[in-house]
Structure 1
Amino acid sequence: MIPWVHIDTGTIPNGGGTLRLMRRGQEFSIQLGQNELMNSRLSGSEVALAELACGRIAARSGARVLIGGLGMGFTLRAALQTLPERALVEVAELVPSVAAWARGPLAEVFGGILDDPRVRLLQTDVAAPIGAARAVYDAILLDVDNGPDGLTHPGNDRLYDHGGLGLARRALRPGGVLAVWSAHPDAAFTRRLRDAGFTVEEVPVRANGRRGGARHRIWLAARPDGAR
């Protein structure tokens, strides 16, 4: 078997630990400690995150989307394929090394999608643009942890608590959607979304798409039309 090779290490700001970029042949993996956060061979649920959320708002003229977490670009690519030419997709990436890998060792995986004129890469915590926005986004997609808790960065917990969900709801335009990726179900998070005023759908997806793989979850939480 081909062994894994350590390509690079990236530091998560504010004491969040370190990420390791690993390669085995043509396969890449980004790991945090013993947790694999993403793998270049397993993109089905990350693609589904974008297709499900952006499919709901693709008909909007000038749709504006915020993606939390660049990862290996699978969610971004699927969003660009789903959205119209006049859309704007902002990607908030906290870890500088992850953005650098996209144009370095992972350039072939990304395939130039960061050069799409609809893309704006923000070197920041996704909580910043969410907190600053007032009815700005048609969709907010969060794939920054393995679920609705701060695995990669302890400060991310605030994205999923009652206050953070309230800010996300305020950042969305009426009828907009907050989509959250998770490796596992979480009934308490579903309740918090409803308490925050969202209408909620929980969709089971597979890591390998139609080919199966691990069972993941995506929450689609819509801000009702006319809601304040």
Structure 2
Amino acid sequence: MTAEPFRPLRDDVRSAVRERIVRGDYAPGTRLVERAIASDLGVSRVPVREALHALVREGFAVDRATRGIEVRQYDTAQIAELTQVSGALEGVLVRRLASDAPTADLEPLRLVLDEAADALGLGDLDAAVAANARFHEVLVEIDPGSIVGEILDGLTERRRWLLRQHTDPATVHHEHADLYAALVAGDAERAVAIVDAHARDSAVRAVSSMGPR
């Protein structure tokens, strides 16, 4: 039996806190208090401290000299930049998939679309949002080993956060269905246009969700 690779406790704590940030359990501007998080997760404060500093380096939190570490708040310009970068990279990816990927390779996308549709049918918006985020992850998985895929993979958690700001997962699902259809049809220009519009819409929704600043 092959032994499981060692994983430091701080990595598990970092993953848990990051997931809560992405889900919105820790809203932007929320103080991340070592003592409270350690108690909640049943660990000592040392791995929590290490995890929080790692999240600062990853861009999910900021270290305020007077307030300690808190969840990062994105401003309008930063959200626009994130969506522009993601959209541009995804445009490169979908152009290649539309041109080269056999329909069978695109099947995982259809399965995720079905998952989102089922969740919407049941009125489970959280599950629909999660499936919508998964759609973008599967796009990257279909084209393993590419440089653009590697870069997008590094943005996965931030893009998951961005998609969770969208209050209408049905609209996102329909956009994803249109993108899938364009990929199956091999229509690269249509696929890129959908990705561009999707990125712009995500930026507008994210900015709107922040409310007055």
Q: Classify the TM-score, shorter chain.
A: under 0.3
Larger Rg: 2
Of structures 1 and 2, the one scoring higher in RCO (CA 8 A, sep 6+) is 2
TM value normalised by structure 2: 0.25
Higher helix share: 2
Higher-strand-fraction structure: 1
Please report the TM-score for the alignment, with normalisation by the length of structure 1.
0.24
